[in-house]
Amino acid sequence: MSYGFLDKAMIFIAVLAVCLLLAVSIFSGHAAAQSAAVDDTTKLADQIIDCAGLRERGERLQCFDEIAAPLVGIEEPTTDGAGEALHSFTGKDDWDSQVLEVDKPWRLVWQNQGSLLTVELRSEQGELLDVIGNQIGKGGGRSESLDPGSYTLAVRGLGGWRVQVVSEAEQ
């Protein structure tokens, strides 16, 4: 089949029109995404300003923690039938706790949003007692039941995480 000059011109114009429509569609989607990013940034700035305005230190810290948790990919923890959370920590990458006094049987519950998480149980003096949490990839878990005492936790991670010291549920 042979195409004449006008047929070739019409095909060229049709292809050009489709390309232009595609370019406009992509550009408008990009502009909408940039607008959404600006709106998210503005919303985040407003939330930070609101938190900074809180007078009570604990309330202010909780407010900042609530803002930070989604930014590092941490969802609200579930204790899956365990007792109350005695201590809760959220962070990213490596972190070492102060001495934790635990006066009843407990376990560690964790949630990892990064590629690796290991939680070491250490004595008050910093001696390694055991590795009580280990997670490769996203996910969560819990340790075996642990005895009351004075401990520190050493979190070694790549990415965002949350760990909780949870009292054992009454049997």
The residue extents of the domains of the chain are 1-71, 75-167
170: which 2 tokens? 């009454």
Domain 75-167 annotated CATH 2.30.40.10: no
Query: Which pLDDT belongs to residue 10?
Result: 53
Query: Which pLDDT belongs to residue 98?
Result: 95
Under the banding of pLDDT at 50, 70 and 90, the label for residue 100 is: very high
pLDDT more than 70, % of the chain: 66
Strand ranges inside the chain, DSSP E: 85-92, 95-96, 100-102, 106-112, 116-122, 128-136, 139-142, 149-158, 160-167
Neighbour-count burial of 54, counting CB atoms closer than 10 A to its CB (0-12 exposed, 13-18 middle, 19+ buried):
middle
Diameter over CA atoms, the chain: 91
> Is 146 within 8 Å of 104 (Cβ atoms)?
no
Mean pLDDT of all residues in 95-105: 94
